[in-house]
Chain A
């Protein structure tokens, strides 16, 4: 069993997961207790993603704002019933006419199914937090396969990872990141937009050459 060669994939998986956690209703106490920002900064550095400073601002943002303020900004960005400026659902950005549960959403759900996961929460499956979590899951699967030298599984999950990322997540996450940067009122969310953009940008460089088309 080799863990060293699997470590980059594990680190990447963790980075996706911690980033995903930032898109849930804010719980600054929990995030600070679990040292999320510092851990994310460490992971970004390890993965050579230029986001360490953004992660520091993320932490400062958490410390500077109370939960109520964070919740207001979170709601204004992602849930505003008068039209959220940073729509967290992929299909709103990818479909010809902005809508939930578009064809792209159904394809995302199908990819989840083919990869061996099912959504357990309400809402469309192409929410940014869920897509990031899915990438985290794939990273773990790849790391596991590497660790046990299962080359077929490595190739299988790597193909899913590249296909999903290039066709779906990377096609809209930068739009979301920029929208967050533009509309966020608090440091935490502005920094989150930066982190998302930096990380997705780095992943694009990593995965663009291994692009595999998803199943139709």
Chain B
């Protein structure tokens, strides 16, 4: 805020002539207007947008009155959520109106970048900020070092291509790094290397008879929460729900049966369940096939002749039995998982008997060696024919969309050469195969970027931009990011809230909030429908915030053009409003046009005439409704046409798809597959590498010195780690089972607490192999003895005044256990770990 008029500082009283003074302009922020009438509230309106508080990406409506958001609900037209949002949606109001939001571009005036050292940020104009960033990029181009530009992405929309991938390439860098590998990528390995689906699955909850919720909590966190809540009651009445989780989740609290498995031993349980299903003769004969003579030869401990079995839609069932399952008895699994043998048999057979109206709903499984466990869990869906079956699990529908304009014509020589460099995250190496979606080096290794920057391997990073991300907080052993970002010569952070990552920024830029302050397209699916929905600037922006993926890019392109680098702007000018043919004239204008371009197939009658879902009459109709739903998913197509994305076009129990990519990786690295697996800490050797199998937990910390095992949990109030500064988050924290309001606690079993002499509310010193922190004890029977559970979300040492106890001294409110989780990976996919019992802990009274 600046004084606009010198007259504002003049004295009117000094003139002694009151009337004369009134003629001068003594107002600065205010202007005279005709007096308004005294009246009540202006009528408000529900306006459509999309929540991105988790990956459900729910279509919502925000009630806006006088330009102010006051209430939130699900989009009444949404088939994904039935018109409801979960509690996260309601937190949007506090998120928008958080007084600690970044309000203006700011630059650091203290060059020392460190935790607990005040950056001494001061306000600057967008113009100054953009000029600085443009100068840094031009310096890279002048020095042929464009690959040393790094773009880090957090939460994103379908407009992310513009900033994340395309601008990065046009500048000349290969380094567009997403947050995905600290999110939930391992679970996708399960469905991909069995049936070729890379993504989240959808579930026919309405017609389901048996649901196994495994290592996740659909009633509170990822994903399709409103739909799960809506359908859960009927499912409990008409069928059976089993929750498999080391702690009592919301789902476990309501399920018919809760199996408190030892953390990370899911692969043992899944393979034992498969063993039970096969030895009981309960596999789905229509899907998997049967023995030629009709006699079940799956007998524990005995190999089976592959030729004796006629497979239908699957590949390698007998191989899977021979290689892995024949010895995976319930007794064996009981010893590993801590579960009762009877429960294992009961759940396995109950599940199979309900087939195909059943599903395993498996969670993130972000643990070392997690991929094979994810495959084993998901393979159960194939074994009972639940995949692509009514009442079962499916790949879901996709909302309609068009494409963003190509950048080929705007890649100059510098861009072409620069963008072909190796990526900074070391993907595709012996250490990080990153076998995402069947491609060597296809996945990102987000958390390793900090290590790569510190080691300058493959090279150093000189200019970095991050948006909607906070890896210092959300990545395991986040302190590495402190050091890495302190080393980067120039870093700009585009964010709604300053955070640990901003602490190391040279420039902090105020971001628009995705749900209420910007134009963007979103695609998601749930409840057997896909949708394309809009995020709209439904409220009046309070401050000079900009949408990172569109407005920021436009403004930066203007500055680059001023410096003689015209390609970015020329590329952005290929976006033409589908209705008028006009190009953009401002950042806001560009955001709208880009959104219209990408969603054109959803709303343009000329392009959606064959679409079988909702068909708006045009853009205005689409913007008003905010959503296009697809038709309902049709089951059985894969049974008819095969699984197009697997090598065999079958559901693969013996994964030729994984074998192909592992072979490719090993050949590239000039090692055997066994050597490749050894290099990434897997125990599988030989043929075991190609089937879902049990991998022992890779635990950091000897059980003698670190006797407790950490279970990481997510809050139903977490807007992806952006809730810590919201008073409602703290006020309602006890809605997470075992937690309490206005506190951040470590849940410990009362029997363990008793042995340690710990009482409710005591402060504990908790240590892992990489560090210690203190946290309050919460005695809770919902965690197994030997394990402790801690919710992610609090423990910020740099955030707003609610979330942080003392920023100046870097004292957090609560404890962020990512600080003491070791920096380990499921190297096969490249994900950072937070699940699966990989963190051993020592607990003492503080």
Contacts and interface: CB of A to CB of B under 8 A. Distances in A.
A32 to B, nearest CB: 10
B interface majority secondary structure? loop
A136 B66 CA distance: 26
Contact of B97 (A99, A114, A137): A99
Interface string B60-93: 0000001010000000000000000000000000
B100 to A, nearest CB: 5
A81 B30 contact: no
B542 A123 contact: yes
A21 B9 contact: yes
B260 interface: no
A34 B6 CA distance: 8
Interface in A125-171: 127, 129-130, 133-134, 136-137, 140, 143-144, 146-148
A87 B101 CA distance: 12
Interface string B27-69: 1111111111110000000000000000000000000001010
Contacts of B3: 21, 24-25, 27, 30
Given A112-B30, A117-B33, A123 B103 contact: yes
Contacts of A51: none
B97 to A, nearest CB: 4
B800 A121 contact: no
Interface stretch (B115-123, B190-198, B269-277, B780-788): B115-123
B18 A10 contact: yes
B106 A75 contact: yes
Contacts of A82: 100, 498, 502-503, 798-801, 804, 807
Contacts of B578: none
A200 to B, nearest CB: 19
Contacts of B121: 75, 79-81
Contact of A87 (B17, B33, B99): B99
Interface in B456-513: 497-498, 502-503, 508
Interface string A27-55: 10011001010010001000000000000
Size class of A's contact patch? 35 or more
A60 interface: no
A140 B21 contact: yes
B505 to A, nearest CB: 10
Contact of A14 (B11, B120, B498): B11
Given A3-B18, A25-B2, A100-B542, A81 B29 contact: no
B1 interface: yes
Given A10-B12, A140-B26, A123 B31 contact: no
A63 interface: no
Contacts of A20: 28
Contact of B6 (A23, A30, A102, A130): A30
Contacts of A123: 1, 103, 542-543
B34 A116 contact: yes
Nearest to A216: B40
A132 to B, nearest CB: 10
Contacts of A79: 103-104, 106, 121, 123
B9 A18 contact: yes
A68 B801 CA distance: 25
Nearest to B36: A113
Contacts of B800: 82-83
B8 interface: yes
Nearest to B65: A106
B678 interface: no
Contacts of B66: 106, 109
Given A83-B807, A129-B1, A130-B30, A43 B13 contact: yes
Contacts of B544: 122
Given A13-B12, A21-B3, A34-B6, A97 B94 contact: yes
| Residue among B33, B97, B503 having the largest count of chain A Cβ atoms under 10 Å | B97
Given A10-B12, A101-B97, A106 B68 contact: yes
A99 B33 CA distance: 28
A97 B30 contact: no
Contacts of A85: 801
B749 to A, nearest CB: 34
Given A81-B121, A83-B807, A117 B100 contact: no
A11 interface: yes
A33 B799 CA distance: 39
- Nearest first, the 9 A-B pairs at minimum CB distance are A83-B801, A81-B498, A113-B36, A34-B9, A116-B35, A10-B13, A97-B727, A117-B30, A100-B97
23 contacts: A7-B16, A17-B26, A18-B9, A21-B8, A25-B3, A68-B122, A75-B121, A79-B123, A80-B121, A81-B103, A82-B804, A83-B801, A84-B100, A89-B99, A101-B542, A116-B33, A117-B31, A118-B33, A120-B29, A122-B542, A133-B29, A144-B19, A144-B22
Interface of B: 1-3, 6, 8-14, 16-19, 21-22, 26-38, 66, 68, 94, 96-104, 106, 109, 118, 120-123, 497-498, 502-503, 508, 541-544, 727-728, 798-802, 804, 807
